[in-house]
Amino acid sequence: MLKLKTKTEFGVQTTQGIEQKTIRVIINGGSFDINNLLGNGYFYYLNENLQAVQMNGISLFKLWADISSSGDLKTELTHVLKDAFLEGLEEGVNYGTIASDYEIDNDEINHLNE
């Protein structure tokens, strides 16, 4: 599982209207076939009760030919999925964010109940 979050807050639509929130991302699923690596996850924010509120889903795609393994496959796949997410911010829903707005989310609290 890969978790990212924005370094600053952005305006997102909540039940209370537009509010400034840290936008978080989780890539929590994936699969592969002979040619492709696929990942999926979603954008979310934390409400006032620190519960995760899911926003849009994310689908990632990367060709195996674009992946160079350094030996540690788990580390490499995490890196590739992170890069695929950040590259994909220019296409589709991004809540006004760009790649440099994100950092790894090392928050130990499990807001997602997973």
Residue 33: DSSP 8-state? -
Instruction: Summarize the confidence of residues 95-102 as an average pLDDT.
Output: 90
Query: What DSSP letter does each residue of 58-92 carry, written as one string?
Result: EEEEEEGGG----S-HHHHHHHHHHHHHHHHTTSS
Write the pLDDT tens digit of every residue in 14-39. Answer: 988 999 999 999 998 888 888 888 88
Q: Hey, what long-range contacts does 16-22 have (CB within 8 A, 24 or more apart)?
A: 21/45, 21/46, 22/46
Per residue in 50-71, pLDDT tens? 899 999 999 888 887 777 666 6
Question: Does the pLDDT of residue 47 top 70, yes or no?
Answer: yes
Evaluate whether 60 touches 83 at the Cβ level (below 8 Å).
no
Among 74, 12, 15, 20, residue whose Cα is nearest residue 43: 12
Q: In sequence order, which residues have a C-beta less than 8 Å from that of residue 91 and are 6 or more positions away?
A: none
Residue scoring higher pLDDT (43 or 73):
43
- Cα separation, 88 vs 25, whole angstroms: 13
CA dihedral sign of residues 85, 90, 92, 96 = positive
Mind listing the pLDDT tens digit for each residue in 81-96? 888 888 888 776 788 8
Q: Is the model's pLDDT at 11 over the cut of 90?
A: yes
